[in-house]
Structure 1
Amino acid sequence: MELLQLQYFVRVAHLEHMTEAAQSLYVTQSSLSRTIRRLEESVGVPLFDRIGKKLKLNAYGQAFLPRAEKALFELEQGRQKLLDMRHPEQSSIRLAVTNASTLPQILQTFREQYPHIPFHVQMCATDEMESLLEKGDVDIGLASLPIHRDTLEYEIVLNDPILIAIPNTHHLAQKRVNELSLNELAGESLIGVKRGYHTRDLVDQACTKAGFVPTYILEGNEPARLGAFIEAGIGIGFLPATGIQTADDFSSKVRLMPSQPPLMRQIVLVWRQETYISQAAQEFRRVVRGHFAKSAENQKNYENNS
């Protein structure tokens, strides 16, 4: 059994089409077919059911695929470790991020401290991030709980309060801190991110538990841009504290208040189990921990001064 055979098998298994697989691998279809047949001869069973140029993994192929993927993953991890040992100055990092609001500051700090380490960032939803991590296409993820795949590990780096942002012209803005109950928002015009975002899921679940269905008049993809609509008095919003940074950074036209009961999301660093963590990735994790430790301190100061 050869490494090339495993690489070709995994690609064909994912595409289930010989022509497309050959094109993606930059080899001829005949060469790819011969390599797959040699692998099948080596393992002693057919791995695909063939219908013309289309292939479909059979029961043998389905049983073999996760083992082949794991073998390739482990070999790549070994290669990465050796490269890191020999040329630590050439280390790089691949990131997948679902929480974008804090990323510019994190990357700025990382680049200032480690200008020689290149990085590549993909902005994506949680399920895509988990898939990229599982396949080894990225090294580290930055997301919110929950993480669904058992193959992934995570470290909680911040408990991030979700604050209620109320235009100062609204009567609820006159409430004292910690006096605003969530059920007082029943029937109010709300502004928030679209369904599928973890923050939205938390808010909707809390509102349902408080006895009402939230009424959204504006939904967006980028939490950082919702503040302008709240400032304009369009509605009341729910904003993660990390997206606001500090109270002084936010407009004087908006009152920020915690809800009762409190709403909280947990921000996590995520990586695949048994993955070799490069020196670059370790330094990135250190920068992330430091950034969120500072954010937690800023939030504590804000609460003490409110």
Structure 2
Amino acid sequence: MELLQLQYFLVVARLEHVTEAARSLHVTQSSLSKTIGRLEEDLGVPLFDRVGRKLRLNEYGNKFLHRAERALFELEQGKQELRDLSSPEQGTLELAVTAASALPHILREFRKKRPHVQFHVQMLATQEMVKLLHQGDVDVCLSSPAVEEEDIECQVVYNDPILVAVPKGHRLAERTSVSLTELKDESFIGVKRGYGTRDLADRICKSVGFEPKYVYEGDEPARLSALVEAEIGIAFIPSTARNSRDQIQYLQVENHELVREIALLWHKRRYISQTALEFREVVADYFKPLT
């Protein structure tokens, strides 16, 4: 049995189509079919039921799939560990975030500590971020909300109050706090559903009898302050995302615990590189004085 056979088998098992699997692997269909055929010969049983170019895992294939995934998973973990040991000063970091307001400060501190590390950051909705974490496509996530899943380790690093941002000149701009019910007729700007702050604010507002009316929904949280300043609407903005714009007033929410949790996430069963461990330390150190 060859490693290539297992790799091809996993792709075919996922796509269940010879043409699509060959295209994904950048090989010819005949080469792919022969490789799967040799694997079945080595095992002594068929792994798929075939209908034209469509394939369906049979009972043998489903049993073998679990073992093959574990074998390749362990080999990949071993490669990462050896790479980490052989080049301790280098390293890479794949990072996914749903809470990005503190990210520039965190990355600056991390860059001071590990100047030669290459990192890549993706801003994602929670569901997509967790999917990539399970797949091993990201090392660490900085998330809001916290996520509770069997294979996910979650460390809450900060409880971040959510404020109401209004433009100067707004009827509430002279206030320092506001009740949620006073906002029911306002126009809101915010991020799309699926982001932690949006989903939390919507849920709390619904609990007091109204749903926010959004005139703008985007996927760039940093843009919200500029839109508030332009008097397009008001916004729920975490305290860590508050800036010093003169034309915005931030109000505390009265009588409700409108607070988001910011958490570090990583996969329990995957190898954690020294780079990822040090990034987690930088994040915890950044939020410690705020807490």
Question: How far apart are 1:278 and its partner, in Å?
Answer: 0.8
CA RMSD of aligned residues (A): 2.1
**Does the 8 Å contact 2:98/2:196 carry over to 1?**
no
Partner of 1:287, secondary structure, is helix
Match of residue 261 from structure 2: 266
The amino acid that maps onto 1:104 is: P
Matched, 1:61 2:61: yes
In the other structure, the counterpart of 1:288 is 283
Answer yes or no: is 1:73 the counterpart of 2:68. Answer: no
User: Matched residues in 1 for 2:22 and 2:12: separation?
Assistant: 8
Over residues 20-46 of structure 1, what are the superposed CA-to-partner deviations in whole Å (9 max), with x where a residue is unaligned?
Answer: 323333333333222222333344432
Q: Give, in angstroms, the shift of residue 165 of structure 1.
A: 0.9
After TM superposition, the structure 1 = structure 2 runs for residues 37-52 of structure 1, keeping only pairs within 5 Å, are 37-52=37-52
Query: Structure 1 residues 145, 62: CA separation in 2 closer, same or farther (over 3 Å shift)?
Result: farther
Match of 2:165 in 1: 165
Select between 19-28 and 117-126 the one with higher mean Cα deviation. 19-28
- Out of 209, 212, 223, which is 2:210 matched to? 212
Which deviates the most, 33-42 or 68-77?
33-42
Which range moved further: 191-200 or 271-280?
A: 191-200
Asked if residue 257 in structure 1 is aligned to residue 255 in structure 2, the reply is no
User: TM-score scaled to structure 2, two decimals?
Assistant: 0.90
Match of 1:132 in 2: 132
The answer for unaligned runs of 5 or more in structure 1 is 298-306
Moved over 3 A (4+): 41-45
* Deviation at residue 279 of structure 1 after TM alignment: 0.9
**CA deviation map 1:200-259 (0-9, x unaligned):** 111111111112222222222212111122223332210012222xxxx32222221221
Amino acid at match of 1:195: R
Q: Secondary structure at the match of 1:173?
A: coil
Residue matched to 2:187: 189
Paired with 2:261 and 2:3, the residues of 1 have a C-alpha distance of: 40
Conserved? CA contact 1:130–1:149, under 8 Å: no
1:292 corresponds to which letter in structure 2? F
CA apart distance, 1:148: 5.7
What is the number of equivalent residue pairs in this alignment?
290
Higher mean alpha-carbon deviation, 31-40 vs 156-165, is at 31-40
Provide the secondary structure at the position in 1 that maps to 2:288: helix
- The whole-number CA distance in structure 2 between the counterparts of 1:75 and 1:224 is 40
Secondary structure, aligned partner of 2:216: strand
Q: In structure 1, what is the Cα distance between the partners aligned to 2:105 and 2:176?
A: 32
Residue 146 of structure 1: how far off its partner (Å)? 4.3
**Distance change in 2, residues 1:146/1:286 (3 Å):** closer
| Identity within the alignment, % | 57
Normalised by the length of structure 1, the TM-score is 0.86
Q: 1:138 aligns to what SS in structure 2?
A: coil
> Within 5 A, what are the aligned runs for 1:8-19?
8-19=8-19
**Structure with greater proportional helix content:** 1
- Tell me the amino acid that sits aligned with residue 214 of structure 1: P
Distance 1:194 1:120, change over 3 A: closer
What is the CA–CA distance in structure 2 between the aligned matches of 1:60 and 1:226, rounded to whole Å? 53
Gaps of 5+ in 2: none
Residue deviations 1:162-190, cap 9 Å, x none? Answer: 1111223223233344xx21111121222
- For 1:123 and 1:190, the matched residues in 2 are separated by 22
